[in-house]
Amino acid sequence: MRAEWYTGKVALEVDLAQQHPCEADDMQTFISDQEKRARKHFVEEALANSRIEGHVPSKADVADWNAYVNGVQTLDETEGRIVQRALQGD
């Protein structure tokens, strides 16, 4: 799934359909479709704001956000992984 935002003349895209390395076909998540939609909206806005500020999220960052949207990771786990990579310079 692709989401696009237009800010002036700049198109911002986020691909939230990438598989997270931790995801498996048999892995079950217990969040509702409504919660997934709410998380997706939160992530899309956060990534759009990040891009507006000049930061381009890495594939690993997007994969972590996708895992959060799908209930594989908590928000704290997702943010922790992203911060750790940023501190390591990855």
Instruction: Let me know if residue 1 belongs to a domain.
Output: no
3-state DSSP helix/strand/coil % of the chain, to nearest 5: 50, 15, 35
Q: What's the CA gap between 59 and 11, in Å, rounded?
A: 18
pLDDT surpassing 60 at residue 43: yes
Whether residue 11 is predicted with pLDDT greater than 50 in this model: the reply is no
pTM value is 0.67
Range of the domain at 36: 31-90
pLDDT digits (tens, 9 = 90+) for 46-79: 999 999 999 989 999 999 999 999 999 999 999 9
Does residue 25 lie in a domain region? no
- Please report whether residue 74 resides in a domain: yes
60 is a domain residue: yes
Assess if residue 37 is contained within a domain. Answer: yes
Domain count for the chain: 1
3-state secondary structure of 14: strand
CATH number at residue 84: 1.10.8.1050
Share of the chain above pLDDT 90, in %: 59
